[in-house]
């Protein structure tokens, strides 16, 4: 089986290609930038992006979007995680959380699949806490401030891939795909 993955991020494509192989799915890279809408949830953003792209692409494909959601900051940076990372970065997150007791946060990944007719959404979530300081250098993005147990994602290295939100979302999708006619 073959699936088109639309992303401009090669690293993301390589990661998903690997997961796909375990499910006997060949993930092919369709490199394309697309405009994501502004919306209050990742689900909505993925669904609308998928709808817009479906008119352009016309055949089955998947897209993926993910974000960090901090409970005491009303879900911030959430759907805008990428922009927030590029501007205030992990240092900004640490400042915003300074002295705040409730440090609960989660990473969320959404996979949207267009089957040529309908859109199907798959979700992967990993819960943790925001660390008191930036720690570790093995990950990327918010990994150095996301505590999973006693370590940050950036201190975990390959262990992280076993529990990551992206992996969970894609595994759900590949399992579902395997059950389809």
Residues that bind a copy of itself (CB under 8 A): 35-40, 45, 48, 73-80, 83-84, 86-88, 92, 95-96, 98
**Comparison of 24 and 40: residue with beta carbon closer to a copy of itself:** 40
Q: Which two tokens stand for residue 65?
A: 């979007």
Provide, rounded to whole angstroms, the least separation between the CB of residue 138 and a copy of itself. Answer: 25
**Comparison of 23 and 106: residue with beta carbon closer to a copy of itself:** 106
Residue 55 CA to residue 45 CA, distance in Å, equals 16
Q: Mind giving me the DSSP string for 132-180?
A: SS---SSS-TTGGGEEETTEEHHHHTTHHHHH-HHHHHHHHHHHHHHH-
Provide, rounded to whole angstroms, the least separation between the CB of residue 173 and a copy of itself. Answer: 23
CA distances from 12 to 29, 81, 109 (A): 10, 16, 12
Provide, rounded to whole angstroms, the least separation between the CB of residue 46 and a copy of itself. Answer: 12
**Comparison of 76 and 174: residue with beta carbon closer to a copy of itself:** 76
Provide, rounded to whole angstroms, the least separation between the CB of residue 80 and a copy of itself. Answer: 5
- Comparing C-alpha atoms, which of 43, 30, 59, 57 is closest to residue 117? 59
Q: Is 143 a catalytic residue?
A: no
- Comparing C-alpha atoms, which of 91, 72, 86 is closest to residue 134? 91
**Comparison of 97 and 156: residue with beta carbon closer to a copy of itself:** 97
Beta bridge partners of 69: 77, 106
Instruction: Give catalytic residue positions.
Output: 65
């Amino acid at each position: 089986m073959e699936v088109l993955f639309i992303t401009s991020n090669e690293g993301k494509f390589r990661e998903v290609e690997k997961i796909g192989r375990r499910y006997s799915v060949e993930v092919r890279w369709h490199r394309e930038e697309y405009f994501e809408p502004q919306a209050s949830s990742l689900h909505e953003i993925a669904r609308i992006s998928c709808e817009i792209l479906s008119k352009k692409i016309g055949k089955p494909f998947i897209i993926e979007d993910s974000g960090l959601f901090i409970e005491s900051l009303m879900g911030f940076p959430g759907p805008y995680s990428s922009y927030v990372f590029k501007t205030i970065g992990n240092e900004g997150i640490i400042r915003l959380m300074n002295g705040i007791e409730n440090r609960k946060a989660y990473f969320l990944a959404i996979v949207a699949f267009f089957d040529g007719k309908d859109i199907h959404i798959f979700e992967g979530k990993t819960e943790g806490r925001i660390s008191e300081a930036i720690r570790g250098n093995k990950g990327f993005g918010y990994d150095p401030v996301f505590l999973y147990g006693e370590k940050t994602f950036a201190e975990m290295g390959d262990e992280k891939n076993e529990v990551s939100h992206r992996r969970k979302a894609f595994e759900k999708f590949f399992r579902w795909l395997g059950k389809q006619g």
